[in-house]
A = this chain, B = another copy of it.
Amino acid sequence: QVQFTEEGNGILSVLSTSIIALIRIKDLTVEKADEVVWVRGRIHTSRAKGKQCFLVLRQQQFNIQALVAVGQHASKQMVKFAANINKESIVDVEGVVRKAYQKIGGCTQQDVELHVQRIYVISLAEPRLPLQLDDAVRPEVEGEEDARATVNQDTRLDNRVIDLRTSTSQAIFCLQSGICQLFRETLIRKGFVEIQTPKIISAASEGGANVFTVSYFKSSAYLAQSPQLYKQMCICADFEKVFCVGPVFRAEDSNTHRHLTEFVGLDIEMAFNYHYHEVVDEIADTLVQIFKGLQERFQTEIQTVNKQFPCEPFKFLEPTLRLEYREAVAMLREAGVEMGDEEDLSTPNEKLLGRLVKEKYDTDFYILDKYPLAVRPFYTMPDPVNPKSSNSYDMFMRGEEILSGAQRIHDPQLLTERAQHHGIDLEKIKAYIDSFRFGAPPHAGGGIGLERVTMLYLGLHNVRQTSMFPRDPKRLTP
């Protein structure tokens, strides 16, 4: 048996080498009936009733009912002690697994309960919690009179350590971890190399708008708005197919449901042989592999999130639907929208287009190709046939943009001309242009916003739900 002393200040010190294995709550099933086990969990709820105290012990997304009752193993004092442990405290419990007489509602382990023999407090929570976990997972029901308490977003984010303990948050971020894993798995299988690009840069490559300034010793520098220049340099350095996962910074004062000042970019850049669609196809297939992987490996998480935020399953086609910009404009006009051929899509029009595409093609994921040259950045390769069009594309999930990409100009002379046409100071982008002077293969790429993919796959409505510690113009904490 284990012996440990709780020295002052919660330092656990093991005095014996025969350590008891702690069992996971999710493994407590009827097969374990009548066994004595040790469990470490949080006090999720606690309810005293005469000579008994019912606890719900929680471990991540799983929980079990535990009963402390006056009898052979527990005194009246122990029942009282157990009943008085603050919610969210972490405890070690020794107990006998017993088959339940009837299904235990509200617990994931419905068929068994734990008859407690010993209980130790490992870490005591303060008595007043800033939010209740049960409130934080309650679906919002509009217009109902007897609607019970829910937790508003700022309270959640201010107390993120507690909010992240809910089954919904646990599921969201396990699934997000899965997106990163599937992204890399797929690309490594396709022969891509992972690169690491610097975030502190000496010049703001796209002219200096929306960029954060950093004090750098006696000088100043900027935070990278994208890894694009560095991805392209790797292509010019013959890595051929590269990807990176990392923070991207935008000093944009946008306070919307889908903008963050710092987000995670899943970036791809790739040399191609004959046509930039080689790259578009690889990117789209990577996203399809992510969607399929999530369906296969994260069904439990998807269902957990759906309980609080009900949503239609995410639909996609194989191969991915690719529409040209002019087709999208035609669809929108048919639906009554007035817009010019070279006008960019507004956010409401993107949303509307998403609905039209869903109706017509039954997919939540599609590519919009061949954007007007006029609405894209200077480094975008013009269409070789139609000078008003360009070899550029966005990808959409449920009517919202999750990726922007293009074939990049790899010829220094054309790049110079296009920069001049955009009125960009050539001196500021000299290093960028010079990267292409020693032989550069034709290449294309794009950047995916991780938080947006997570949000839209799960049908959530705010990107702050899918960023663990979101940053926006008004929030820098925790």
Contact = CB atoms under 8 A, between A and B. Distances in A.
B247 A245 contact: no
Given A123-B440, A129-B438, A196-B468, 5 more contacts: A10-B411, A165-B238, A170-B238, A173-B239, A213-B215
A308 interface: no
- State the copy count for this chain: 2
A274 B4 contact: yes
Interface of A: 2, 4, 7-14, 19, 22, 40, 42, 59-60, 88-90, 122-126, 129, 160-165, 169-170, 173-174, 176-177, 180-181, 184, 188, 193-202, 212-217, 219, 221, 223, 230, 233-234, 236-240, 245-247, 249, 251, 253, 261-262, 264, 273-275, 381-382, 384-385, 409-411, 413-414, 417, 431, 435-442, 450, 467-469, 471, 473, 476-478
Contacts of A261: 200, 216
Nearest to A466: B196
Contacts of A275: 12, 14
Contact of A42 (B42, B233, B238): B238
B381 A11 contact: yes
A397 to B, nearest CB: 19
B237 A382 contact: no
Nearest to A220: B215
A385 B195 contact: no
A136 to B, nearest CB: 12
Contacts of A8: 414
Contacts of A246: 246-247
